[in-house]
Amino acid sequence: MIRALIAALALAAAFAAPAALAADPVNGEKLHQDCLQCHGTKIYLPPRRKINSVKALRKEVERWNDSYNPKMKKSEIDDLVAYLDRDFYKFGKP
């Protein structure tokens, strides 16, 4: 019984850990340096911006990550989305 409980707790902790690592907009801002070669940040603001949801924003960041080079990890994409949302889009959590 105790063993099962310990195993369950260990499992829960293993799953909880990645979720606890919140996206880091400060790191996102650093990663974004690579994106500035083509456009500044004005494109993220009205009247130029086209993106209108966090979901679309994430897709766009993934698209640029694919077609351009940085090959970011998923957590880095999270960071970049968090940075763009915090400073420009301001959608808040999905």
Interface with ligand HEC, residue 10, by CB under 6 A: no
Binding mask 39-78 for ligand HEC (x = CB under 6 A): x---xx----xxx-----x--xx--xx--x-x--------
- The residue written with tokens 């940075």 in the block is 83
Q: Least distance to ligand HEC from the beta carbon of 15, Å?
A: 29
Measured distance CA(30)–CA(64) in Å, rounded: 16
- Least Cβ distance, residue 59 to ligand HEC (angstroms): 9
Structure tokens at 91: 């959608």
What DSSP string runs through 31-87?
Answer: HGGGGGGT--SGGGSTTT----SHHHHHHHHHHHHHHSS----HHHHHHHHHHHIII
90 is a contact residue toward ligand HEC (CB under 6 A):
no
User: 5 CB contacts (<8 Å, ≥6 apart)?
Assistant: none
Q: How far is the CB of 62 from ligand HEC (least distance, A)?
A: 9
Contacting positions for ligand HEC (CB under 6 A):
34-35, 37-39, 43-44, 49-51, 57, 60-61, 64-65, 68, 70, 80
